[in-house]
Every structure is written in structure tokens, then in C-alpha cells.
Structure 1
Amino acid sequence: MPQTGTGGRWRDRLPPERAYKRRAGAAAPAVEQDRAAGGRNQRNVDLGDGRLARASITLRLYRSTRRIRAYLRWSQDGRTEERYVCEVESDSRKQNLVEAWRQARAKGFLAKDALPPESTASSLGVRASMRGNRSRDTKPELLLRGLLHRRGMRYRVDTQPIADVRRKADLVFPRDRIAVFVDGCFWHGCPDHYRPATKNADFWREKINGNRARDAETNERLTAAGWTIIRVWEHDDPAQAANQIENAVRRKRDSAHLDRAKADAH
């Protein structure tokens, strides 16, 4: 890779779009940033007073100079903050993100943290996931609910779909018999972000495997009762998840309307 920040890579042409633009069908933005940074816990900036914010890298093309600049962005007290990191010069967006995160870390822009001695977590990422776990009203869940509500969708929150299965879904459409679960990456063993614990490994392996088995059993029992199950990972794009849910609800309603029309015809 050419020396970063020299600004001389593209003298007679613009950089290719693949060097800075996200491609269609790429991994979700959060997943892309996690991979480039080397893990979700590697993306924090220090807000002071013991607070951390999750940051991301934005790549911008400056057409007049034919340069791509990387900026670190995060949210603080309701405002979006930004800090220039470096110029990047690879033809690959992935490599440019990796280089920008490396530069941000080298320049001391990212927070350095350590596990407290009493923590049972095996890493900072695991601890953040554990501490962020809530039974309801998580940030991904609130984002998803807001998108669906603005589309005119109405649902119940944190509700048992059926009495025989004593487990609550995060969103329930009772008339359409659709149950939505927004699963946390750590507690439900996300294939992209879950990493087996090394501290108290047997305990956590048993815990996560138990949660996975419980999820599978819940799916089977609700499906057998005639329900449609939709599971969304906390890292999934909320807009794509909202599309999936809305399409499922509308298909159910169209099918029910057709069945009623056929019954009336007879």
C-alpha cells in the first residue's frame, strides 16, 4: 500500500468508488466498522467522567484534490462530533477503513480501557455486551419500533405471544400471529460478534448454549402454534429489519383478506 497521506496516488483521475463507497449487499455498517477496527470494543472514544462513545470512520472524497480523507465520528450529548484522522490511498474501502482505524489508534484518538478486577468477562467487548443487556427497550429495539410506528404499524411490546409458551417477544402482532425477537449479540451467540469467553469459560459456554437452545425451542413451539417468528440481531440494519417485518405483516394480512373473500363467495 502506498504511503498514507501523501496525497499523490490519484493525480490524473478520481479514486475509484470502491475505495470509499459502501457497495450494495455489503455487511451492515456496524459489522463493517467492527471488522475494520478489530472488534466493537476497539471503537470507543473517551467522553470524560468515565463515559465512552462508540465511534465510526467516515471516508470522504474531495474531488478538487482527488484525495480521500478519513474522519472519526461519534455522538456526544445529542451532537455529532467529528475528528480528522488521515488521508487513505488504497483502492479498497475495506483496507482504507482498516488503515484509518490503525491511524486513529496510533494517534491516541481512541479510549484505552481495562477490565476491572471483579469483572467475570473475558474481554472489554464481552463486558460491554453484558452491561448493555436489558430485558426490553434496548437501543436497537427502540430504533426498530420507531421505524415501524412511523410506517403505521401497530404492535404490542414485551408480550407473551401465547399463554402456553411463557416467553415474551419484543414485538408482537397478535392479529397477524407474528412475533419479533431482537437478540443481543453476546447473550444469544451471534455468529458475527460472539466470541467464547476465556474467563469462567465453562460457565459462559453453558449459559450461551442454554440461551441458544431456549431460542430454538421457542421458535419450534410458536411455529407449531401457527405463529411466524422473526429474529433480528442487534447489529442488523434497523431499516432492513423494518422492511422484513412490514413485508411479513402485509403478506399475512393480504392472505387473510383473500381467504375471507373466498369464504364470502361461497
Structure 2
Amino acid sequence: MPDKISKLHRSWIMSRVAGRNTKPERLVRSLLHRIGYRFTVNGPKNKKLPGRPDIVLPARKTVIFVHGCFWHRHAGCKHATTPKSNTAYWQAKFRRNVERDRETMQALQRLGWRCMVIWECELKDIEAMTARLVSELPRADGLELPDTLDDQQLVAETQALYGKR
């Protein structure tokens, strides 16, 4: 009986994890929009692309995945810890997540899409993330960065646009 309870409990915990429109995703979308990029959000209704990328830039044939360091196992990150209880379950779960990520990226690349991964911990430095986005997503129309990006203002704009979560 304890095994059934733990499976039910795990199932309940997993159902509480947000699969889309997470705070990091909303922050990246707000940042992209603010610096002039236009994109679509690839939700469950759009099954055209493998793996349901978080952000799709069709004009650049680029997809962006916003990965949580814990769930997607960001190498060397302090947030990529393994729970101390039921480690066999968690290790198998994480291994499958990483494998699925690799398979998805390969499938997208075979279709001619460029893949970009943004890790949750990278969003602590908005200026560096902005510079990375601009350098990895070049624009033909000569995008220039805003003089300053106020982190608190950006977070407030993100919450206003996408609602608090």
C-alpha cells in the first residue's frame, strides 16, 4: 500500500508543475518583444513542430526552449539537484527528460530549424541575456539595443502583459 500512495503522491506533484507560460517563459517573451523581435508561442494546439518549443521565430526559422535547470539538468548548475528520496525514480525521470530534449533538437535540426536553449538561471542577468539574444538572432533591419534595461521595469511589464503567476 505505501508504494501506491507514493505513486499517487508523485502523480499529484507532477500534475502541479506548470508546463507552459511559466515565469521564465513570460520573461523571455517580454524581453524579445521589448527589443523588437516578433514570434509565436507554440502551444499544444500547434502540432507542426516536434517537441512543442516555447517560442517560435518563423521568419528566422528558429525555436527557443526555455528550460528549467532542475527538470532539464543544466550541467554544473546549483539548481540541478536530485531529491534525496526515491533517487532511482528521479534519476530515470531526469535521464528521459535529457534524452527527449536531445531527440527533439535533432528532429528540429533535420527539418532545418535552428534551436536555442535558454536556461532559467541565465535570466538573472537581463543585460547578458539581451546581448545573447541579439547576437544569436541577428536582424536584417539593424536592431539597436535600448540604452538601459531596468530589471524591475521589465519584470513589471512581463507581469502586466502575461498576468501574475
Please confirm whether the aligned pair reaches a TM-score higher than 0.5, indicating the same fold: yes
Question: Could you report, residue by residue, the CA deviation over 1:209-243 in whole angstroms, capped at 9, with x for unpaired residues?
Answer: 00000001111111122111110111113622333
Q: Determine if the alignment matches structure 1 residue 217 to structure 2 residue 84.
A: no
Shift of 1:179: 0.5
Which letter does structure 2 place at the counterpart of 1:150? Answer: R
**Equivalents in 1 of 2:20, 2:131: separation in Å?**
21
CA gap of 1:179–1:158, structure 2 versus 1, over 3 A, is same
**Equivalents in 1 of 2:41, 2:25: separation in Å?**
10
Question: Could you report, residue by residue, the CA deviation over 1:87-139 in whole angstroms, capped at 9, with x for unpaired residues?
Answer: xxxxxxxxxxxxxxxxxxxxxxxxxxxxxx9966xxxxxx8xx7984211111
**Equivalents in 2 of 1:242, 1:217: separation in Å?**
28
Could you tell me the percent identity over the aligned residues? 32
Say whether the 8 Å CA contact 1:148–1:246 is kept in structure 2.
no
Say whether the 8 Å CA contact 2:50–2:104 is kept in structure 1.
no
Aligned residue number for residue 64 of structure 2: 180
The one of 181, 188, 194 equivalent to 2:80 is 194
The one of 62, 68, 91 equivalent to 1:205 is 91
Shift of 1:195: 1.5
**Equivalents in 1 of 2:97, 2:27: separation in Å?**
24
Question: Could you report, residue by residue, the CA deviation over 1:3-39 in whole angstroms, capped at 9, with x for unpaired residues?
Answer: xxxxxxxxxxxxxxxxxxxxxxxxxxxxxxxxxxxxx
Return 5+ residue gaps in structure 1 as ranges.
Answer: 1-116, 121-126, 255-266
More displaced stretch, 222-231 vs 152-161? 152-161
Which letter does structure 2 place at the counterpart of 1:182? Answer: V
3-state SS of the aligned residue for 2:71?
coil
Return 5+ residue gaps in structure 2 as ranges.
Answer: 1-5, 142-165
Aligned residue number for residue 249 of structure 1: 137
**Equivalents in 1 of 2:62, 2:51: separation in Å?**
14
Aligned residue number for residue 228 of structure 1: 114
Instruction: Using CA pairs under 8 Å that are at least 6 residues apart, name the structure with larger relative contact order, 1 or 2.
Output: 2
Aligned ranges for residues 61-140 of structure 1 at < 5 Å?
Answer: 133-140=17-24
**Equivalents in 2 of 1:246, 1:196: separation in Å?**
34
Which letter does structure 2 place at the counterpart of 1:200? Answer: N
3-state SS of the aligned residue for 1:169?
coil
Which letter does structure 2 place at the counterpart of 1:220? Answer: Q
Say whether the 8 Å CA contact 1:230–1:245 is kept in structure 2.
no
Q: Determine if the alignment matches structure 1 residue 151 to structure 2 residue 39.
A: no
Q: Name the larger-Rg structure.
A: 1
Task: Report how many residues are paired.
Answer: 128
**Equivalents in 2 of 1:199, 1:182: separation in Å?**
27
TM-score (norm 1): 0.42
